[in-house]
Amino acid sequence: MGCGALGLFIVAERRDTIDTLVAATGIASVTGFEFSNEHAHYYEAVWIVSYDCYGVDLFIPKRADIDPTLLALCAAFATPALPAEPAT
């Protein structure tokens, strides 16, 4: 089965909260993601919304001006991302 449109890519900004991000993405629950990774400078969470591969990819920067409740939620659920493989 091929995929149609990939979905939304959203970057959290300084005024965003859990509620504003849930409203912007249309997801039912902020913790119902397929996976959540911690990268060096940001968190990433992905939700698969439908069987045709449509999803939401949310990026939350690790910055002092990001909602601390949102960062704490990310830290609680994220797993460390695998290191990138060296280019050959």
Q: Hey, how many other C-beta atoms are within 10 angstroms of the C-beta on 77?
A: 16
Q: Is the pLDDT of residue 38 over 50?
A: yes
Q: Is the pLDDT of residue 82 over 80?
A: no
Q: What is the pLDDT of residue 88?
A: 64
Q: Where are the domains of the chain?
A: 7-80
Q: What is the pLDDT of residue 1?
A: 45
Q: Is the pLDDT of residue 86 over 90?
A: no
Q: Is the pLDDT of residue 5 over 90?
A: no
Do 61 and 42 form a contact (C-beta atoms < 8 A)?
yes
The pTM (predicted TM-score) of the whole model is 0.80
Give me the half-sphere count of Cα atoms (radius 13 Å) on the Cβ side of residue 84: 5
Q: What is the pLDDT of residue 37?
A: 93
